[in-house]
């Protein structure tokens, strides 16, 4: 399968796959697309070495893991699991086997096995914030490491809000994922050193090179590339050691090395050379208060700046207001502005609801689908770990409708750790469910929490006082006025007179709602109801407004005045009368 699952054109992949299908008697049609299917290095698509160099039992070992993987996928008994573990660990000692072993497992049973190609590793680490243990040869997974991460991810598939719900979905999401942090300096150093070793060996037509000759040729280049590094020679020496550890070069004698994995093609590899593939850097998109306003925020600049400052100091913020005041919309944009860039990998949104528990949000035991339980971190612990890994970068978790759940119960001991002055290792506490004895957890200083709260929902109880003390509460109001008027007119070309009439009618309705003793100001209608979404053309503004009344505002009024239906009907009529 590695013959066509490699870095070649889709047309060639289809041709090879079709011929293999004929040879093997496969009746299924050749796929039209290969998106998301991990590919191996063009020059190393075999899983074994040439006959004169491989061990006598290498091929049998590869067939054994193939057979045991299929058997284990069809049976979850202990014997099948143990046989798979033995076969997997034995296969890791075959020359040419690395992360491509997990890719092969995925190819043969994509619904049962997880591929740990470089893109999937990056997605699991950065987006899903799940740790991949590497206790096997050359810093890769043992069978137990592999099954641990597989079962941890698989347990999360059952959550409706989880980004992916199967291994094929994960592989595709990883293929599409853009990680703006992958160009960190340490990885850049290793790539630059490795690229110049390849260049040097190619120019000299030899796999052997001396450190002194290498420094003589490239020292000036590295000084230009890394002008702030005052220990260039030491850093090069350290990266030579890292390349030795990774099996890319070997040490022959004092100061003499040999290049082992000389892949001189320009093809991006997702296989065994995954750590050295050319880096595709997604541009960092800066984001600030100016961008919030440009996106269609009708809150004044000075208030937005105060909101951000309050978030920076308090760490935890709740936006509360009537329905349609853009609480969730603004929460996510405040998160981007706090980070300083529009980076979805640093912002996580979670919806609270009555059935959400501590075990869902922080950590708890989950079924794996094989009749077993696995201790799985929830979204909050995942963000804690992600923020801890990158202490210089701000991370934000947005909790929508925070008062729809029971925050004190859902946060558990984390509620204490939320306080800004308790975000240090000295304040760390034990969790209800520990991975090991003595495990202590604290919330890092660079993790911020933004909640939203609909104060018009009569089904909800008052917020716990302990939660109130740990959050700053900000009221959002319906924002109909010149800023709203000018923005909607500029974006959608709606006639000014129509917008003025819409504004007048909504304001009159809000005055009536605020004056009603059974309702009040918290039940007013927000501006989002009468702000068209970007990208949706409005050809007939009057008809659009009528539809908003009929399908959105009208049903809400029926709920407000459920016991005075005539009042709701008259309010509807006044909104559309004469349009």
Q: What is the CATH number of the domain that holds 379?
A: 3.40.50.300
Residues 156 and 143 in one domain: yes
4: confidence class by pLDDT, cuts 50, 70, 90: low
Answering whether pTM is above 0.95, one says no
- 406: in domain: yes
Flag whether 390 is in a domain: yes
pLDDT for 179 beyond 70: no
Q: For residues 111 and 113, what is the distance between their CA atoms, to the nearest angstrom?
A: 6
Please write down the HEC assignment for all residues of 89-136.
HHHCCCCCCCCHHHHHHHHHCCCCCCCCCHHHHHHHHHCCCCCCCCCC
**% of the chain at pLDDT higher than 90:** 48
- As a whole number, mean pLDDT of residues 235-258 equals 83
Q: Using only C-alpha atoms, what is the Rg of the chain? A: 29
For the segment 406-455, what is each residue's pLDDT rounded down to a tens digit? 888 999 999 999 999 899 888 999 999 998 888 899 999 999 999 999 88
Sign of CA dihedral 243, 247, 248, 250: positive
**Residues 333 and 460 placed together within one structural domain of the fold:** yes
| CB contact burial 135-145 (16+ within 10 A = b; e otherwise) | ebeeebbbbeb
Final residue of a structural domain among 276, 303, 333 = 276
**Domain count of the fold of the chain:** 5
Is the pLDDT at 573 greater than 60, yes or no? yes
pLDDT band at 486 (very low <50, low <70, confident <90, very high): very high
User: 395 and 369 share a domain?
Assistant: yes
Residues 267 and 297 in one domain: no
- When the pLDDT of each residue in the chain is averaged and rounded to a whole number, the result is 85
Same domain, 53 and 145: yes
pLDDT greater than 50 at residue 279? no
Verify that 133 and 264 share a domain, yes or no. Answer: no
Name the DSSP class of 553.
I
Give the pLDDT mean for 211-226: 86
Give a yes or no: residue 282 inside a domain.
no
Is the residue at 284 inside a domain? no
Instruction: Indicate if 423 and 325 belong to the same structural domain.
Output: yes
User: Is the predicted pLDDT of residue 263 greater than 90, yes or no?
Assistant: no
**51-81, pLDDT tens digit by residue?**
777 888 889 999 999 999 999 999 878 899 9
Average pLDDT of 95-120? 89
Of 127-141, 173-187, 279-293, 490-504, highest mean pLDDT:
490-504
Statement to judge: residues 337 and 419 lie in one domain:
yes
Domain span including residue 224: 185-276
**Contacting residues for 284 by C-beta, under 8 A, at least 6 apart:** 180, 341, 343
């Amino acid at each position: 399968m590695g013959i066509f699952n490699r870095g070649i054109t889709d047309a060639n992949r289809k041709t090879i796959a079709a011929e293999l299908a004929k040879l093997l008697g496969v009746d299924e049609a050749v796929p039209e697309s290969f998106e998301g299917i991990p590919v191996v290095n063009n020059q190393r698509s075999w899983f074994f070495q040439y006959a004169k160099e491989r061990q006598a039992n290498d091929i049998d070992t590869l067939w054994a893991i193939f057979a045991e993987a299929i058997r284990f996928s069809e049976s979850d008994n202990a014997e099948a699991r143990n046989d798979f573990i033995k076969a997997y660990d034995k296969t890791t000692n075959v020359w040419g086997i690395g992360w491509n072993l997990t890719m092969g497992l995925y190819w043969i049973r994509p619904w049962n096995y997880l591929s740990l190609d470089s893109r999937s590793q990056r997605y699991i680490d950065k987006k899903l914030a799940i740790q991949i243990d590497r206790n096997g040869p050359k810093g890769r997974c043992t069978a137990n490491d592999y099954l641990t991460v597989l079962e941890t991810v698989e347990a999360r598939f059952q959550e409706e809000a989880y980004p992916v719900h199967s291994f094929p979905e994960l592989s595709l999401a990883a293929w599409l994922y853009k990680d703006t942090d992958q160009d960190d300096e340490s990885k850049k150093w290793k790539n630059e050193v490795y690229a110049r070793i390849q260049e040097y060996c190619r120019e000299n037509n030899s796999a052997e090179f001396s450190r002194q000759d290498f420094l003589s040729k490239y020292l000036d280049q590295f000084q230009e590339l890394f002008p702030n590094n005052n220990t260039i020679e030491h850093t090069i020496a350290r990266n030579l050691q890292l390349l030795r550890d990774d099996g890319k070069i070997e040490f022959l004698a004092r100061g003499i090395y040999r290049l082992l994995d000389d892949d001189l093609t320009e093809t991006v590899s997702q296989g065994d050379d995954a750590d050295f593939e050319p880096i595709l850097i997604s541009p960092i998109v800066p984001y600030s208060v100016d961008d919030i306003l440009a996106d269609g925020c009708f809150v004044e600049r000075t208030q937005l700046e105060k909101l951000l400052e309050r978030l920076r100091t308090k760490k935890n913020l709740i936006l509360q207001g009537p329905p349609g005041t853009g609480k969730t919309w603004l929460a996510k944009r405040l998160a981007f502005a706090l980070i300083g860039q529009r980076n979805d990998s640093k912002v996580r949104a979670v919806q609270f609801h009555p059935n959400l528990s501590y075990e869902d949000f922080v950590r708890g035991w989950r079924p794996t689908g094989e009749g077993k339980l696995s201790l799985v971190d929830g979204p909050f612990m995942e963000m804690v770990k992600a923020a801890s890994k990158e202490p210089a970068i701000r991370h934000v978790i947005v909790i929508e409708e925070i008062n729809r759940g029971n925050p004190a119960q859902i946060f558990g001991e984390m509620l204490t750790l939320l306080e800004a002055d308790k975000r240090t290792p000295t304040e760390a506490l034990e969790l209800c469910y520990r991975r090991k004895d003595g495990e202590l957890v604290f919330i890092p200083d660079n993790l911020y929490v933004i909640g939203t709260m609909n104060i018009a929902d009569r089904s909800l109880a008052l917020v716990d006082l302990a939660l109130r003390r740990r959050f700053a509460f900000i009221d959002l109001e319906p924002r109909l006025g010149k800023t709203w008027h000018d923005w909607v007119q500029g974006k959608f070309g709606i006639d000014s007179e129509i917008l003025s009439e819409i504004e007048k009618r909504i304001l009159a309705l809000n005055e009536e709602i605020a004056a009603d003793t059974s309702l009040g100001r918290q039940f007013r209608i927000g501006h989002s109801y009468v702000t068209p979404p970007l990208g949706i053309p409005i050809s007939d503004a009057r008809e659009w407004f009528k539809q908003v009344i009929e399908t959105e505002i009208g049903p809400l009024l029926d709920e407000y005045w459920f016991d005075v239906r005539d009042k709701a009907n008259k309010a509807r009529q006044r909104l559309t009368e004469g349009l």
